[in-house]
A and B are shown apart, each in its own frame.
Chain A
Amino acid sequence: MMAGPLLLSLKLAAVVALLLLVVGVPAAYWLAFSRWRGKFLLESVVALPLVLPPTVLGYYALMSMGPRGPLGKLWIAFFGHGLAFTFGGLVLASVLYSLPFTVQPLTAAFGSVDRKLLDASAVLGAGKLRTFWRVILPLSIPGVVTAVVLSFAHTVGEFGVVLMVGGNLAGVTRTASIAVYDDVQALDYAAANQTALVLLLISFAVLCAVYGMNRRVWKLWPAS
């Protein structure tokens, strides 16, 4: 069975979604509330992975992770080995690849919180951090869930970047999408079918969760 690659994909997606949440919340907060005129520059950078072909990202990742690349040099200095062909390398590439899928829903959610509530919170003496935790975040839960679910699903669906920097190592970098490709290449359609079907079901379930939540079919947060 293809349980190994599937588990690896899920593990990678979970780590990436978690890391992206940590990075994405402050980034989205800044994007939602900053009034800097150059903000569009950062917005563009965040959205880049949406339009860049995975091959471009994969190519840059492969080159920068090598011993002559900036990332590779840094990583070797700290850990003594290169970044390509490691789980860490995949995580890093996937964080970049899925960045917009976390930051954009979060930014939209933070930005749509009624400003009057923020003003009220400030008038009542709450600092920015307290306002964020007590007002903005609770009102943005659907956006947070969307961000986590989408970045998770997008990472599960990643193929091109992993193919270019992964090295196809069982248990380390052979994700489910790569396993499907390998099976098709080897004309093992039965194995490809199994993994492909599971991926299809996971993707469908994830999208149902997101769309269902946006239509408020399920109440995942306290009714207001």
Chain B
Amino acid sequence: MLLVVVLAALSSARPASGQEIAVAAAADLKFAMGELAANFEKQTGNKVNVTYGSSGNFFSQIQNGAPFDLFFSADLEYAKKLEAGGQAEPGTLYNYAVGRIVIWMPPGTKVDLNAQGMNALLDSAIRKIAIANPVHAPYGRAAVAALKKAGIYEKVEPKLVYGENISQAAQFVQSGNAQAGFIALSLAISPAMKDSGEMWLIPAELHPPIEQAAVVVRNSQKKEAAKAFLEYIKSAAGKAVMDRYGFTTPPASEVKRKAA
């Protein structure tokens, strides 16, 4: 009986189909990845299991042999380090998107965010501003860079409180403990937050690009399926989903350059 099942499974296994891949994804992908995975599953019959978390945690875990097939890091550096350390499959590093940050406030804040933009943070009604920890979170670093570029970092710094990641920065604002926060655009336009506050998109030139990158994990037993998923992310359909969730995807030419 068991033999029959095994044989049936073997015979129906075409390359990169009917497999289950484990994906480690940065928390900012929470909503985009759900749709991407569902589309890919429908197209190929492969299954995608996504775990969301901090890129730094995933980095350490993969370095120590965590059984992930594919890693989407919110920080290009982690992907590069895995590649340099030989834990990433050579040639698979792909800059899948550039993240954007917004200032987010709950509704009814007595500050005109749209008119004032970043200067709204100087208002005395804004007592605490939540950002992701710039020490290790790329979105936090971008927030600090933008504040510095705008010349208001010194004035705003005493108001800053640090979340472990952008999700926690969002929690601090949603719970009312902070009056404003810097969060990822992808989170701000997600179903969970879209209608519960107002946002102001920070101009991309105010901070270094938040480059995000994916790699296939070297130890993966399902590299073909993992590569197929990555190909889908690179495709026009995959990019359209990313764009819709607030990521800026690279133009086609850049894909070629990075893949080469």
Question: Among the listed stretches B8-16, B116-124, B170-178, which one makes contact with chain A, having 4 or more residues with CB under 8 Å of it?
Answer: B170-178
Chain B 155-177 residues near chain A, CB threshold 8 A: 161-164, 168, 171-172, 175-177
A99 at the interface (CB under 8 A from B): no
Q: For the A-B complex with A65-B177, A165-B177 known, give 20 more contacts whose Cβ atoms are closer than 8 Å.
A: A67-B176, A68-B176, A72-B177, A81-B127, A82-B127, A84-B172, A85-B161, A164-B168, A167-B128, A167-B161, A167-B172, A168-B162, A169-B161, A169-B162, A182-B133, A182-B135, A185-B133, A185-B135, A187-B56, A187-B59
Size class of the contact patch on chain B: 20 to 34
Chain B residues, Cβ within 8 Å of A65:
177
Q: Is A66 part of the binding interface, using a Cβ–Cβ cutoff of 8 Å?
A: yes
Question: Does B136 count as interface, using CB distance less than 8 angstroms?
Answer: yes
Report the Cα distance A82→B57, complex, angstroms: 31
Tell me which residues across on chain A come within 8 A of B73, comparing CB atoms.
Answer: none
Output the least CB separation between B56 and chain A (Å): 4
Whether A82 touches B128, Cβ cut-off 8 Å, given contacts A182-B136, A185-B54, is: yes
A85 and B57 contacting across the interface, CB-CB below 8 Å: no
CB proximity of A61 to chain B, nearest CB, Å: 10
Q: Which residues of B contact A95 (CB under 8 A)?
A: none
B114 within 8 A of A: no
Instruction: With CB as the reference atom, state the residue of chain B lying closest to A82.
Output: B177
CB distance from A72 to the nearest CB of B (A): 7
A97 to B: closest C-beta gap in Å? 18
Name 21 interchain pairs, CB-CB below 8 A, sorted by A.
Answer: A62-B172, A65-B177, A66-B175, A67-B176, A67-B177, A69-B176, A72-B176, A72-B177, A84-B161, A84-B172, A164-B168, A167-B161, A167-B172, A168-B161, A169-B161, A182-B135, A185-B56, A185-B133, A185-B135, A186-B135, A187-B60
Question: Chain A's nearest CB lies how many Å from the CB of B8?
Answer: 43
CB pair B177–A66 under 8 Å, yes or no, is: yes
Does B21 sit within 8 A of A, measured CB to CB?
Answer: no
Contact with B along A154-179 (1 / 0, CB 8 A): 00000000011101110000000000
Shortest CB-to-CB span from B58 to chain A, Å, is 11
Q: How far is the CA of A168 from the CA of B172 in the complex (A)?
A: 12
Give the residue name and chain of the A residue nearest to B133 (CB): A168
Residues of chain B within 8 A (CB-CB) of A63 are 175
Contacts of A165 in B (CB 8 A): 177
Number of interface residues of A (CB under 8 A): 24
Any A CB within 8 A of the CB of B130? yes
Known contacts A167-B162, A167-B163, A168-B161; A185 and B130 CB within 8 A of each other: no
Across the interface, name the chain B residue whose C-beta is closest to A186: B136
Q: A66-B176, A182-B135 are in contact. Are A167 and B130 (CB under 8 A)?
A: yes
Chain B min CB distance to A22 (Å): 28
Residues of B within 8 A of A184 (CB): 56, 60
* Contact assessment for A186 and B56 in the assembled complex, using a CB-CB cutoff below 8 Å: yes
B133: which A residues are within 8 A, CB to CB?
A: 168, 182, 185
Chain B residues with CB under 8 Å of A62's CB are 171-172, 175, 177
7 A-B pairs with the lowest CB-CB distances in the bound complex, closest first: A167-B161, A66-B176, A168-B162, A84-B177, A185-B136, A185-B56, A186-B136
A84 cross-chain contacts in B, Cβ below 8 A? 128, 161, 172, 175, 177
CA distance A195 to B136 in the complex (A): 18
Residues in A with CB closer than 8 Å to B164 are 163, 168, 181, 185
Q: State how many angstroms separate the Cβ of A81 from the closest Cβ of chain B.
A: 7
State which residues 64-90 of B face A: CB under 8 Å: none
Residues of the B chain whose Cβ atoms lie less than 8 Å from the Cβ of A82: 127-128, 177
**Chain A residues in 8 Å Cβ range of B60:** 184, 187
In the bound complex, residues from chain A placing their C-beta under 8 Å from that of B54 are 185
Q: In the complex, how many angstroms separate the beta carbon of A211 from the nearest chain B beta carbon?
A: 33
When distances are taken between beta carbons in the complex, the residues of chain B under 8 Å from A182 are 133, 135-136
* Chain A residues near B163 (CB-CB < 8 A): 167-168
A167 proximity list for chain B (CB < 8 A): 128, 130, 161-163, 172, 177-178
Interface core residue of A62, A68, A165 (most chain B CB under 10 Å): A62
Report the bound CA distance from A66 to B240 in whole Å.
38
A93 to chain B, nearest CB (A): 13
Q: Smallest distance from the beta carbon of B135 to chain A beta carbons, Å? A: 5
Residues in B with CB closer than 8 Å to A164 are 168
Most buried by B among A72, A164, A182, A185: A185
CB closest residue in chain A, given B175: A66
